[in-house]
Amino acid sequence: MQAVHERIAAAAREAGRPAQDVALLAISKTFPSSAIAEAHGAGQRLFGENYVQEALDKMRDLAHLALEWHYVGPIQSNKTRPIAEHFHWAHGVDREKIAVRLSQSRPSRLPPLQVCIQVNLGAEATKSGIAPDQALPLARAIVPLPGLRLRGLMTIPEPSRDIGLQRSRFRALRELRDEITRHGIPLDTLSMGMSDDLEAAVLEGATLVRIGTAIFGARQAIPAS
């Protein structure tokens, strides 16, 4: 955990940014509740999951801890209700239909679900997310929904060791955020950067990095969703 914070701080210094402007989201999917409790003991509060039943089990196990839960990844229609009822954030919104269902399912006793639009910058057939030119129309559709609060954009670019390519993808998301903001929809979150490319993401303006392997180690076997 400390090593990840040091990487974020170093990249932030290089970018001329305060390190505290970059939140660390620990991607804990497939890891046991005990690993999350250990990370919590080290000061971590934000955790990301994308297997709904696994996440709900962990939430029950760890209900005594003050944790913030983020759903990261594609959102199926039949998962909108549990996501809306139990998570604080959803990072993978890429269809108006899904946004509407999340809003309708958000309990009135809870504050709005914080959401990010997932953008597929490289037009990868195997990745979820909308094309960049569809982000503004989707943002306009989400803003009026009472159960949601649109916070920003999220992306998962293709893996690459080329920091120039990494930065170009993340720069494109930042520029898209700025364009949407110019149209009167202020966004404060850029959810981008993982264990292998967090430096490039921070250099290009990430406000939240999603880190799994560098915190918990190699991913464990994937459970049934």
pLDDT in tens, 68-123: 999 998 999 999 999 999 999 999 999 999 999 999 999 999 999 999 999 998 77
- State residue 121 phi and psi, 5-degree precision: -70, -30
Q: Rounded to whole angstroms, how far apart are CA atoms 180 and 177?
A: 5
pTM of the model: 0.94
**How large is the angle between the packed helices 163-182 and 135-142, nearest 10 degrees?**
50
- The pLDDT tens digits of the residues spanning 138-193 come to 999 999 999 999 999 999 988 889 999 999 999 999 999 999 999 999 999 999 99
**Could you confirm whether domain 2-216 is CATH 3.20.20.10?**
yes
Q: What counts of helices (H) and strands (E) characterise the chain?
A: 9, 8
Q: For 104, which DSSP code?
A: H
Question: Are 48 and 26 contacting, i.e. CB atoms less than 8 angstroms apart?
Answer: yes
